[in-house]
Amino acid sequence: MDNFNFYSPTEFVFGKDRESECGEYVKKYGGSKVLIHYGGGSAERSGLLGRVRESLNKSGISFVELGGVKPNPRDTLVYKGIDLCRSEGVDFILAVGGGSSIDSAKAIAAGVPYDGDFWDFYSGKSIEKALPIGVVLTIAAAGSEGSGDSVITKEDGMLKRGAGSDVLRSKFSILNPALTQTLPAYQTACGATDIMAHVFERYFTNTTEVEITDRLCEAVLITMVKETPRVIADPDNYDARANIMWAGMVAHNGLVGVGRSQDWNSHGIEHELSALYDCAHGAGLAVIMPSWMEFVYKHNVMRFCQMATRVFGCQMNFENPEATALEGIRRFRSFLHSIGMPINFAELGAKEEDIPALVEKFGIGSGRTGGFVALSAEDITEIYKIAAKASL
C-alpha cells in the first residue's frame, strides 16, 4: 500500500425528508445569502425546490436562484452564475440536483473570488479559494456530493474538462434516497454505471497488497449488481435506492482508492463522447469501460480474474485464466445491457467515422496517458474501435 492522506470533510445528512433541514445547515456553515443552483426543472416539478425555499426562509436566509444547468454543464451558465453572485453579494451556493448542478456550483464557487477567467482552473491552474457550497442531491451517480472535482464543458468547441481541489468539497450534502424515486429508469441506470466505473477506475491498479481497498471496491460493486435491477424493476424501492445512494458517495469520495495507483482513462475517453454527442456520462461509460477492459486485461489477467470471480460469480478456470477474465468482462457488459444501457456506438448514437476526431480532442499527441496501462493515441483509437462494434 502506498502512503496517502485521506480528507473528506463533508457532513453527510442522510435519510427521508432531510432536505427540509437545509436552511439550518447553510446557517451552520456560515451562509447568509445563498444562490440556489439547479437543473432543467425536475427539482421544481417534484416540489423539492419549494421545500428548499421554505427551509431557507424558516432559517431567515435570503436567496437568489439560477436554474437551467444542463447535463454536461456549460461554461456559459457558470459565467452568469459568477456575475449574479457578485452583484447580489452571495456568500454560499446551494446546488440542488445531480452531478451537473453540483459541478456548475463548484465552478461558480471557484470563479467568484478569482480575478481571471474561471476556465483557467479547467486548463490546469490550481484552485486556492472558493465560496462554500452545500448540496441537496437528487441522483446517485457522479459522486460530486463527496468529491473535490468538477467537470465543465466549454460551449465554444464543446471541450469537456475537469478541475479538482479540496476547497471545492461540499460543506454538507443532503442525501434523501426518496428524491431519486422520480428518476427515469435510463437515468437511474446511467448513474449506476457511473458509480461502478468510479470503483473500477480505482480497482485496476498496479499497487500490490491493497486487500482492504480491493474488498471495499468489491463490496460497492456487488451492491450495485444486486440493487440496480431492484430499482429498475421497482423505482419506489426506498431501501434499494438508499443503498445505491450511499454506494455512489462511497465510490467517489476517495475512500476506496486510497494508497493505490488509479486509472481514469475510461473516464477521459468517455468525456470526449459526452462532449461530442452530449450523451449521458454513464451511457458513454457503459460503451467504453468494458471495451477498455478488453483492451488492457492481458496486463494483469489475475486482477481481472479476481473481478470475475468475486464480483460476477465466475468459476475460476485454472487451466485458462484468460477465459475467466474475459467471462468477467462479458458478464459486466451483459449486466449493463440488462439495465438498459447502450453497449456500442450505434446504441449510444456515436459514429465510427468520428473516432479520429475523438482521439484528436483527447489531445495526447505522441505522448501517453498514465494509469493501469499507459495508453498512446493508437491505443485509444483501438479502444474506440472495440467500443464501436461491441456486442453481447
Which position has the grid cell 483557467? 120
Instruction: Give me the least distance between CB of 178 and ligand NZQ, in Å please.
Output: 9
Is 193 a binder of ligand NZQ (CB under 6 A)?
no
Of the candidates 40, 113, 235, 321, which one interacts with ligand NZQ according to CB under 6 A?
40
In DSSP terms, 137 is beta-bridged to 97, 175
Whole-number Å distance between alpha carbons of 235 and 38? 23
Instruction: Give me the least distance between CB of 180 and ligand NZQ, in Å please.
Output: 5
Of the candidates 8, 59, 182, 309, which one interacts with ligand NZQ according to CB under 6 A?
182
The amino acid that residue 88 corresponds to is: E
Whole-number Å distance between alpha carbons of 90 and 83? 10
Task: Read off the C-alpha cell for 337.
Answer: 445491457
Instruction: Give me the least distance between CB of 148 and ligand NZQ, in Å please.
Output: 8
344 binding partner (options Zn ion, ligand NZQ, none; Cβ < 5 to 8 Å by kind): none
SS3 298: helix
Of the candidates 34, 36, 43, 199, which one interacts with ligand NZQ according to CB under 6 A?
43
Which span sits near ligand NZQ by CB under 6 A: 36-44, 114-122, 206-214, 308-316?
A: 36-44
Contacts of 249 (CB under 8 A, 6+ apart): 12, 143, 145, 146, 173, 175
Whole-number Å distance between alpha carbons of 131 and 91? 6
42 binding partner (options ligand NZQ, Zn ion, none; Cβ < 5 to 8 Å by kind): ligand NZQ
Which span sits near ligand NZQ by CB under 6 A: 7-15, 176-184, 238-246, 367-375?
A: 176-184
Q: Which of 248/328 has CB closer to ligand NZQ? A: 248
41 binding partner (options Zn ion, ligand NZQ, none; Cβ < 5 to 8 Å by kind): ligand NZQ
Contacts of 343 (CB under 8 A, 6+ apart): 286, 287, 290, 333, 336, 337, 390, 391, 392
141 binding partner (options ligand NZQ, Zn ion, none; Cβ < 5 to 8 Å by kind): ligand NZQ
Q: Which of 188/324 has CB closer to ligand NZQ? A: 188
Is 270 a binder of Zn ion (CB under 5 A)?
no
Q: Which of residues 192-251 bind Zn ion (CB under 5 A)?
A: 194
Is 272 a binder of Zn ion (CB under 5 A)?
no
Whole-number Å distance between alpha carbons of 149 and 165? 7
Phi, psi torsion values for 62, nearest 5 degrees:
-85, 160
Q: Which of 39/305 has CB closer to ligand NZQ? A: 39
What one-character-per-residue DSSP string does 213-238 give? HHHHHHHHHHHHHHHHHHHHH-TT-H
Binding mask 269-308 for ligand NZQ (x = CB under 6 A): ------------xx--------------------------
Residue 163 per-residue DSSP state: E
Instruction: Give me the least distance between CB of 391 and ligand NZQ, in Å please.
Output: 26
Strand duo 149-154 + 159-164: pairing? antiparallel
Question: What's the distance, CA 384 to chain centroid?
Answer: 21
Task: Read off the C-alpha cell for 304.
Answer: 481481472
Q: How many residues does the chain have?
A: 392
Contacts of 101 (CB under 8 A, 6+ apart): 37, 38, 39, 69, 73, 95
Binding mask 203-242 for ligand NZQ (x = CB under 6 A): ----------------------------------------
The residue sitting closest to Zn ion, measured at its beta carbon, is: 194
Residues in the site for ligand NZQ, rule: CB under 6 A?
39-43, 71-72, 97-101, 103, 138-139, 141-144, 147, 149-151, 179-180, 182-183, 187, 191, 194, 252, 267, 281-282
Binding site for Zn ion (CB under 5 A): 194
